A and B are shown apart, each in its own frame.
Chain A
Amino acid sequence: ILNVEQSPQSLHVQEGDSTNFTCSFPSSNFYALHWYRWETAKSPEALFVMTLNGDEKKKGRISATLNTKEGYSYLYIKGSQPEDSATYLCASDNYGQNFVFGPGTRLSVLP
């Protein structure tokens, strides 16, 4: 069974700070890496799907990079805002193992 890890477990930053989190996944049989944003009492919202080594994706102030050879992805948030407060989940899709979610990084942005 895949083990997908995320760090840190939680993070408190001030409004305006930039921050980043890590998702680690087994690199063998890699197919795709998904990032989600999950606000309390809502459903997960897709941020990015990344498949190629070296992929970089950006959506507004949020961007992500992917390294499939070493099995990690970084999610960056530039100039954090209180509305960015949420849990950020990554999920690895590996051949034969399907989707395995990490435990998430809980971000709190203080005004």
Chain B
Amino acid sequence: DSGVTQTPKHLITATGQRVTLRCSPRSGDLSVYWYQQSLDQGLQFLIQYYNGEERAKGNILERFSAQQFPDLHSELNLSSLELGDSALYFCASSAATSYEQYFGPGTRLTVT
């Protein structure tokens, strides 16, 4: 158990809908990262937050947004969902940038 929690574990929704994925980092970790793993692709970095501020942005679509709250938990919002958004979404946390990242169990999103 990495100490990073993600909810929900599974999510099934229809195209065009909006969902929110939640991540609680390890106690004391200030940095949160979001990753996407699609069926035919490797791990793709989406976005990083550090102590509430956006630190780095990767291949995140404009339909996706994220934020980190004062209690350091983070939410990833996915809107106008498409079939291609079906994937495993991981959250990871670290004490700071370039420290070891601890991954949560992931949320599997299925868009039908």
Contacts and interface: CB of A to CB of B under 8 A. Distances in A.
A89 B44 CA distance: 12
A43 B90 CA distance: 8
Contacts, number: 48
Interface residues of B, number: 22
Contact of B58 (A45, A46, A49, A98): A98
Interface size class of chain A, counting residues whose CB lies under 8 Å from the partner chain: 10 to 19
B43 A89 contact: yes
B90 A46 contact: no
Given A43-B106, A98-B56, A98-B57, A49 B42 contact: no
B42 A46 contact: no
Contacts of A99: 33, 45, 48, 56, 58
Contacts of B106: 43
Interface of B: 2, 33, 42-45, 48, 56-58, 90, 92, 97-106
